[in-house]
Amino acid sequence: MLQIIIQGRGGQGAQTAGSLLAAAFFAEGREVQSFASYGGARRGTPVSSFIRVDDRPVRLRCDIEQADAILCFDSSLLEGRLLATAGPNTLIVANSSRTPQQWAQQLPGHRVIPVDGLAISRRHGLGRIVNSALLGALACAIGAPRLDVLTRVLTEEAPKLHDENIAACEDGYACVDAQMQATLV
């Protein structure tokens, strides 16, 4: 079973990203469980989206205590309770302009893959909306869902700016792919 936590702040789109990711896994024929925690339920407060994916029905009904992957929309949230869910093999994709080396110094023992989702989104005309860029980045980092499935779901579910969202998703995917290829060398 794959267990993913998406963490952000109210208004950043972490909840929407969770729904889109769950829809993409479901479109691949996987069994999916998706739920959220809103905290204070106002703009700026921490918001979490939890997703479980498996080939069999997901019957587990509790919070995710040990994540396989974390997608963090606001890197200032990478602390305490969220990091307690990250084991040594957890992939953490963080919306950040810092380098992997800077993250390695700040969070030793954790594998953080930084992606400047804000720069990617602005480059593609999406302003501060980073969902698509970060979803592409996460999909590359964990190897699922397939990029073509994710972009199809974005096209079907995004209310507007389809081409821009697809381009941002592909750019986020390419950004992580380049980082992962660089670590193999």
Could you tell me how far CA 15 lies from the centroid of its own chain? 11
In this prediction, residue 171 carries a pLDDT of: 98
Q: Sheet of 86-95: strands edge to edge? A: 31-37, 46-54, 2-9, 67-72, 86-95, 111-115
| CA atoms within a 13 Å half-sphere pointing along the CA-CB vector of 44 | 0
Q: Spell out the long-range contacts of 79-84 with Cβ–Cβ below 8 A and sequence spacing 24 or more.
A: 82/5, 82/7, 83/107, 83/110
Per-residue pLDDT at 109 exceeds 70: yes
Question: Each residue of 127-158: pLDDT tens digit?
Answer: 999 999 999 999 999 999 999 999 999 999 87
Interstrand relation of 46-54 and 31-37 (parallel, antiparallel or unpaired): antiparallel
User: Domains in the chain, start-ordered, CATH in brackets?
Assistant: 2-184 (3.40.920.10)
